[in-house]
Amino acid sequence: MTSVKDSNGNPLNEGDSVILIKSLPVKGTNITLKKGMVIKNIHLTEDEGEVEVKVEKVRMVLKTMFLKRG
């Protein structure tokens, strides 16, 4: 398995908590994920540059370049 890393190069593991380093609008919804938001229980994907998260009952995939380990 490849090693998934956050924006600072720290390794991410299944179930970790992460913090957003940039506000991100979510396409197709009126949700904006705010900078500094803590997202718990991430799920690793096949792509080492992406993780799957659940925010406000919506499952989405975020790029690890916008995340730091919490």
- CATH value at residue 27: 2.30.30.40
Alpha carbon distance 27, 13 (integer Å): 26
What is the number of domains present in the chain?
1
Q: What integer pLDDT is reported at residue 2 of this predicted model?
A: 61
Please, which contacts does 33-40 make with residues 24 or more away whose CB atoms are closer than 8 Å?
A: 38/70, 39/67, 39/70
Tens digit of pLDDT at every position of the chain (70 positions): 568 999 999 999 999 999 999 999 988 888 899 999 999 999 999 999 999 999 888 899 999 999 999 8
Residue-range definition of the domain harbouring residue 39: 18-69
Q: Is residue 3 part of a domain?
A: no
Would the pTM count as exceeding 0.85? yes
